[in-house]
Structure 1
Amino acid sequence: MRKKLIVSADDFGFSEAYNYGAVKGYQEGIITVLSLMSNMASAPHGVNLAKREVPKANLVLHTNFVQGKPVSEPEHIRSLVNEKGQFYRSYEWKGDNPSDKKCIGNIVVTVEDCYKETVAQINRFRELTGYYPNHFEGHSVINKNISAAFHQAAMEFHIHCMTEPEVETEKWHPVHEIMTGNPLFMEILDRGLRPEDIYEDRFGILNSPYEYNIIHLHPGYVDAYILDNSSLTTARCRDLQTACDPGVKQWLLDHDIELVDFSSIYK
């Protein structure tokens, strides 16, 4: 069984500088998917850039409930937004697990609101691109209510979704989220990907029992918006540098790992 690897540039549309870097990662590196935050102000810039520079790139939806403004009217999704109509940040959420170090607040989002905003972002994606995504996933935070909402939307729109557990149908092959449960994941996320993380197979690609596997990266340039609105800064630049390292692509070739996008998982 030949291993197939999806490498996603998450946060596409976060800022204009980030968009340029993500497209470079697709053009010159191992990035196979651009995962769009359709609610963000720089989403139209990202879509137009991709159409111009990488028209064959697989754009998917990076559903976002913690950054910027929602697509839905704020009064229709009260559990997700503050008094200014902005999404609550992830640190304001109450986590499912008391030991969660990211979600340390008391905000509890409802399945209904998450479903409404997921559908709104799917439809915004279509407005921007002209088509529905063939995959969607969540940005930054996933909990049981988001998972329930995602399952509902995935079945309604017949779109592949990565959540826990993965939505299963006869339409697509299962995809392994190779970072889940990996003790090195947060370290690599925070500092950025290094070539040795690939060369030493710290993600466990070679030993994965799955045919289709996915790695999420954040390859891009940094601008003032990123600096002001994200704790992930220099790691994005390191992800981009490593994604474009010729040695990394050669390692994948040497180990007969095929780079694919989400179109390949559909039967």
Structure 2
Amino acid sequence: MVRIILNADDIGYSEAVTLGIIKSYRDGVIRSTTMMTNMPSAPLAAKLLKENPGLYCGQHSNIVIGTPVSDPKEIPSLVDEYGHFNVKQRLKQGLKLDVEDIKKEVRAQAERFKELMGYYPTHIEGHAVFDPGLAVAIREVAVELHVHYTDNIHYIENGEMVQLRDTHDSGWEVPVMPKVGYYQDKVSLDYWLDDQADLLSEDLVEIHSHPGYIDQELLDWSSYNITRAKEVQIACDPALKKWAEDNDVHFISFNDIKKK
């Protein structure tokens, strides 16, 4: 048996992304998603998640897109003069992010999650920032809340990509990451049917995917857009479901890997 957490990142990013993720759950193999609680469509995401309780949701900590949940004045290293996140621009300029600022925002997003869902997230991860400070902040907030966190973070150091793999004993099993990521030109039905990432040799794998429909908000904010619709189609394809059945592959959520 192979267990795969095919997590749908970014629910709440926009209305269309949110609807695409719900489609990928209702008609497809997605069983796990993570919410960007600071985004305008987060309330819609919470509403739809409550209507679809079989879809697990954790926190997708976002310090890149939009405005923070925290008071921008309290996290000056993450925002511009208008109170919008400008982390990517700062990192390109070689500027450091304040870990305490990140931690404050990750914690605030957890509080927003509780406001929306009625409980704290039981899994916390980060969104699209190559900075070790985010990994530190997520770990500290997750430990504080006694919840799971993704312990596989990538960041840039001296121009090279570094993979940070925490070996914490959190009470959850620790998945491996796929040998071939499911992103951009690797998104295809053949990725699964031809087992391009050698998934069938593993026991427990964590794969981050980005299914979603497309609206103007997404086009304005993200360069990863058109492929999201393709991910919805693949997640719902009967051929993928048959591949899973034939190979004893079970799509699960982070909630399923908590040790008994």
Q: Helix, strand or coil: the match of 1:80?
A: coil
Q: Helix, strand or coil: the match of 2:201?
A: coil
Counterpart position of 1:61: 59
Counterpart position of 1:233: 225
Counterpart position of 1:22: 21
Counterpart position of 1:85: 83
Q: Helix, strand or coil: the match of 1:203?
A: coil
Q: Residues 233 and 89 of structure 1: is their aligned pair in 2 closer, same or farther, counting only changes over 3 Å?
A: farther
- After superposing the two structures, state which structure 1 stretch, 147-156 or 160-169, moved more: 160-169
| Residue 170 (structure 1) shift | 4.8
Q: Quick one: which of 74, 77, 91 aligns to 1:76?
A: 74
- After superposing the two structures, state which structure 1 stretch, 226-235 or 167-176, moved more: 167-176
- State the distance in 2 between where 1:86 and 1:228 align: 15
- State the distance in 2 between where 1:93 and 1:215 align: 28
Please state which structure has a larger fraction of its residues in strand: 2
Q: Helix, strand or coil: the match of 1:69?
A: coil
- 1:50 matched to 2:38? The reply is no
- After superposing the two structures, state which structure 1 stretch, 159-168 or 117-126, moved more: 159-168
- State the distance in 1 between where 2:56 and 2:166 align: 20
- State the distance in 2 between where 1:239 and 1:226 align: 15
Amino acid at match of 2:193: Y
Counterpart position of 2:138: 150
Q: Helix, strand or coil: the match of 1:248?
A: helix
| Residue 112 (structure 1) shift | 0.8
Alignment of 1:100-139 (within 5 A): 104-139=92-127
Q: Which runs of 4+ in 1 moved over 4 A?
A: none
| Residue 114 (structure 1) shift | 1.0
- State the distance in 1 between where 2:167 and 2:138 align: 9
| Residue 192 (structure 1) shift | 6.3
Q: Percentage identity across aligned positions?
A: 36
Counterpart position of 2:176: 176
- 1:204 matched to 2:198? The reply is yes
- 1:10 matched to 2:9? The reply is yes
Amino acid at match of 1:84: Y
- State the distance in 1 between where 2:196 and 2:186 align: 13
Q: Which runs of 5+ in 1 are unaligned?
A: 95-103
Contact 1:192 1:234 in 2 (8 A): no
Q: Residues 230 and 253 of structure 1: is their aligned pair in 2 closer, same or farther, counting only changes over 3 Å?
A: same
Counterpart position of 1:245: 237
Aligned residues: 247
Counterpart position of 2:183: 189
Q: Helix, strand or coil: the match of 1:177?
A: coil
- After superposing the two structures, state which structure 1 stretch, 168-177 or 223-232, moved more: 168-177
Contact 2:148 2:170 in 1 (8 A): no
Q: Helix, strand or coil: the match of 2:26?
A: helix
- State the distance in 1 between where 2:49 and 2:144 align: 28
- State the distance in 2 between where 1:221 and 1:245 align: 16
- State the distance in 1 between where 2:42 and 2:166 align: 26
Normalised TM-score (structure 1): 0.88
Counterpart position of 1:100: none
Over aligned residues, Cα RMSD in angstroms? 1.5
Q: Residues 93 and 200 of structure 1: is their aligned pair in 2 closer, same or farther, counting only changes over 3 Å?
A: farther
- After superposing the two structures, state which structure 1 stretch, 151-160 or 168-177, moved more: 168-177
| Residue 7 (structure 1) shift | 1.0
Q: Residues 19 and 125 of structure 1: is their aligned pair in 2 closer, same or farther, counting only changes over 3 Å?
A: same
Q: Which runs of 5+ in 2 are unaligned?
A: 152-163
